[in-house]
Amino acid sequence: MPLPSAVRNHPWRLGAAVVVAILVIAAIFLLRATLIKQPAPEVVFATLSGQKISLRALRGKVVLVNFWATSCAPCMHEMPRLAESYRELHERGLEIVAVAASYDPPNSVLNYADTRHLPFPVALDIEDKVAAAFGGLKAVPTTYLVGRDGRILIRVEGELEPGELRSMLQDALAAR
C-alpha cells in the first residue's frame, strides 16, 4: 500500500506519527504501571511447603511478587510466562513469589501449583496481611518488582504482557 501523498511529500509527518504512536503506547503502560522507588514492606511469605521466606532475606536479588488467584483468567494466562522467566533468569538473580489471594481456596492453590510444577515459591495470604503491607489490592493480578536494594521499582495492575515482563526483568537484573 503506497504512502498517502501528504506523508510522501512531507516525510517529517511519518516521523511525527511514529513518535505519537510511541507516546500513546507509553501512556497506556504508565496507566497500568506505577514507578514507586520506595522500600518494600517487611513481609514474611508463608509458602505451600510450610517454609517462611522474608522479603528482607531476598535482598540482593530481584524479586517479582505476583498476587494472583486460580479463579482469575489473566492470572492463569500469565503464570506460564512467569514460570518460564523464572527458569530462564533465576541463575542471574531473579526470585519470584506468587502470593495467592486470600479468597482463593488453599486446596485450589495447592492443586494448581502441583499440577503445573511451578518452579518458584507459592505463598498463601489467608489473612490479607501481605497484600495489606503492599498497600492492598484493587485487583489480581497485581505485580510488584523489587530491586536488589529492597526498593519497589514498579507496580503493575493487570496481566503482564510477554515483552513488558521481559523488559522489566532484564532492566532490573542489569541494574547494580
The pLDDT, as a whole number, for residue 28 is 47
The pLDDT, as a whole number, for residue 37 is 79
Residues constituting the chain: 176
The pLDDT, as a whole number, for residue 16 is 58
Can you list the pairs that 36-40 forms with residues at least 24 positions away whose Cβ atoms lie under 8 Å? 36/144, 36/151, 36/152, 36/153, 36/154, 36/155, 37/151, 37/152, 37/153, 38/151, 38/152, 39/150, 39/151, 39/152, 40/144, 40/146, 40/150, 40/151, 40/152
Q: How high does pLDDT run on average in the chain?
A: 88
> pLDDT per residue over 41-73, tens digit each?
999 999 999 999 999 999 999 999 999 999 999
Q: Quick check: 123 and 98 in contact, CB under 8 A?
A: yes
pTM of the model: 0.81
The pLDDT, as a whole number, for residue 145 is 97
As a three-state string, the secondary structure of the chain is CCCCHHHHHCHHHHHHHHHHHHHHHHHHHHHHEEEEEEECCCCEEEECCCCEEECHHHCCCEEEEEEECCCCHHHHHHHHHHHHHHHHHHHHCEEEEEEECCCCCHHHHHHHHHHCCCCCCEEECCCCHHHHHCCCCCCCCEEEEECCCCEEEEEEECCCCHHHHHHHHHHHHHCC
The pLDDT, as a whole number, for residue 35 is 62
The pLDDT, as a whole number, for residue 176 is 76
The parts of the chain modelled with pLDDT lower than 70 are 1-36
The pLDDT, as a whole number, for residue 20 is 56
Q: Alpha carbon 49 to chain centroid distance?
A: 23
